[in-house]
């Protein structure tokens, strides 16, 4: 997929070109995460389909959780549907965000937030610049308050404590940024007050059997997707993978469609493209060899998949990258 440069937010004085170099730079953004996709205002967002993926979340080195400014802060940003075991919180300090969580549209204005539960399939749209703090908390943080199947669920509805929660998160972030002596202790004191509010004011005690079942099945799917990421170079047919995990091919196919909202073939091709792209930009390995290393049937299959996603053939992309490198030396 290639972005249309004229849809990108730029100052009025900036001239926008549409040439091969733009194509190369945009392709880089798509792969590095600078732009996962582009938001083009159409007035109609419902029904938008995005690929589902399982995301691994690691905490900050100096904290028992992860905290950062949202990567879509500059706007023109869409994060594809994905899920993770951690509990995630988005706190909007400035601007607006739109979420799609389990078929529910949630709009966030300034000084509002949303809690994304473990294994909830969600996507994010940030059409305009914003300042949003993101917290990603390991599920184990809440293990003493699990309801069932190592499960805890928080509401998306408003509470009277909303203002207090937003204030806590803002204090956490400011303290962490300043990094004065003992900042870790102060940040964690705010954090555990936040956890207290979450389990006493936002935790759902009565959770439907369907929600628990979906959580359990997406956990199973995460185990499968982790296996795929470790073995993407091999011949991973649906039938073979189903046998590894003791499922029927039909059941496994349904798992991907229902819980990741993507078919198995598209998912595994996306994983292979990701690893192939990394090798393409970091080595001089021939395209045909990269295809083989990444699990593609041959160079032609790799080139077709690469062009479909990035709008350019792997060989042409490499040439553009080399030209860009030479231009930077001038």
203 assigned to some structural domain? no
- Residue by residue, DSSP assigns 113-161 as EEEEPTT--EEEEE-S--EEEEEEE-GGGGGGG--SSS---B--S--TT
The residue with greater pLDDT, 70 or 22, is: 70
Mean pLDDT, residues 266-282 taken together: 91
Helix then strand then coil, % of the chain, to nearest 5: 50, 15, 35
Alpha-carbon distance of 224 to 230, in angstroms, equals 10
Averaged pLDDT of the chain: 81
What is the pLDDT, as a whole number, of residue 149? Answer: 66
**Residue in the structure block whose two tokens are 């007050």:** 193
231 assigned to some structural domain? yes
Mean pLDDT, residues 90-117 taken together: 93
What is the pLDDT, as a whole number, of residue 60? Answer: 66
- Residue by residue, DSSP assigns 259-317 as IISS-HHHHHHHHHHHHHHHHHHH----HHHHHHHTT-SSHHHHHHHHHHHHSS-HHHH
307 assigned to some structural domain? yes
3-state secondary structure 174-208: HHHHHCCCCHHHHHHHHHHHHHHHHHHHHECCCCC
Percentage of residues in the chain with pLDDT exceeding 70?
81
Whether the CB-CB separation of 203 and 153 falls below 8 Å is answered with yes
Greatest CA separation for the chain = 65
Listed in sequence order, the residues at least 6 apart from 275 whose beta carbon sits closer than 8 Å to its beta carbon are: 232, 293, 294
**What dihedral do alpha carbons 162, 102, 232, 235 form, nearest 10°?**
170
Is residue 30 over pLDDT 80?
no
CATH of the domain at 316: 1.10.10.60
Is residue 5 over pLDDT 90?
no
148 assigned to some structural domain? no
Threshold 0.75, pTM exceeds: no
214 assigned to some structural domain? yes
By residue range, what is the domain housing residue 218? 210-329
Query: What's the full length of the chain, in residues?
Result: 330
Mean pLDDT, residues 142-164 taken together: 85
Alpha-carbon distance of 150 to 139, in angstroms, equals 9
In the chain, the number of structural domains is: 1
Is residue 141 over pLDDT 60?
yes
10 assigned to some structural domain? no
256 assigned to some structural domain? yes
What is the pLDDT, as a whole number, of residue 84? Answer: 86
What is the pLDDT, as a whole number, of residue 48? Answer: 35
- Pairing relation of β-strands 77-83 and 122-126? antiparallel
**Per-residue CA distances from 134 to 44, 124, 157, 245, 261 (Å):** 27, 12, 18, 34, 24
What is the pLDDT, as a whole number, of residue 85? Answer: 84
Residue 75 phi, psi (nearest 5): 85, -175
186 assigned to some structural domain? no
Q: Under DSSP, is residue 211 helix (H, G, I), strand (E, B) or coil?
A: helix
Mean pLDDT, residues 48-58 taken together: 44
The residue with greater pLDDT, 218 or 90, is: 90
């Amino acid at each position: 997929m290639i972005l249309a440069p004229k849809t990108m937010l730029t100052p009025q004085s900036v001239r926008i070109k549409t040439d091969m170099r733009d194509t190369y730079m945009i392709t880089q953004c798509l792969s590095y995460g600078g732009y996962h996709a582009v938001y083009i205002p159409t007035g109609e967002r419902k029904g938008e389909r995005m690929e589902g993926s399982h995301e691994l979340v690691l905490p900050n080195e100096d904290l028992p959780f992860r905290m950062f400014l949202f990567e879509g802060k500059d706007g023109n940003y869409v994060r594809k549907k994905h899920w993770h075991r951690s509990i995630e919180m988005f706190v909007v300090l400035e601007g607006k965000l739109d979420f799609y969580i389990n078929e529910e549209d949630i709009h966030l204005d300034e000084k509002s937030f949303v809690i994304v539960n473990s294994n909830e399939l969600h996507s994010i749209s940030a059409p305009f610049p914003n300042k949003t703090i993101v917290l990603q908390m390991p599920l184990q943080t809440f293990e003493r308050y699990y309801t069932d199947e190592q499960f805890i669920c928080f509401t998306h509805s408003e509470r009277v404590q909303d203002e207090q929660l937003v204030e806590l998160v803002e204090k956490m972030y400011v303290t962490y940024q300043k990094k004065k002596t003992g900042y870790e202790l102060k940040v964690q004191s705010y954090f555990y007050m936040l956890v207290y509010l979450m389990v006493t004011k936002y935790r759902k005690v009565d959770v439907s059997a369907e929600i628990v079942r979906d959580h359990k099945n997406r956990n199973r799917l995460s185990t499968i997707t982790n296996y795929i990421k470790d073995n993407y170079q091999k011949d991973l047919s649906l039938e073979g993978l189903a046998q590894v995990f003791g499922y029927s091919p039909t059941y496994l196919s349904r798992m991907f469609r229902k819980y990741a909202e993507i078919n198995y073939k598209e998912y595994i091709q996306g994983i292979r493209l990701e690893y192939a792209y990394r090798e393409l930009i970091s080595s001089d390995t021939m395209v045909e060899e990269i295809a083989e290393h990444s699990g593609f049937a041959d160079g032609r299959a790799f080139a077709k998949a690469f062009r479909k996603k990035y709008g350019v053939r792997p060989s042409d992309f490499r040439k553009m990258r080399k030209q860009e490198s030479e231009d930077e030396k001038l």
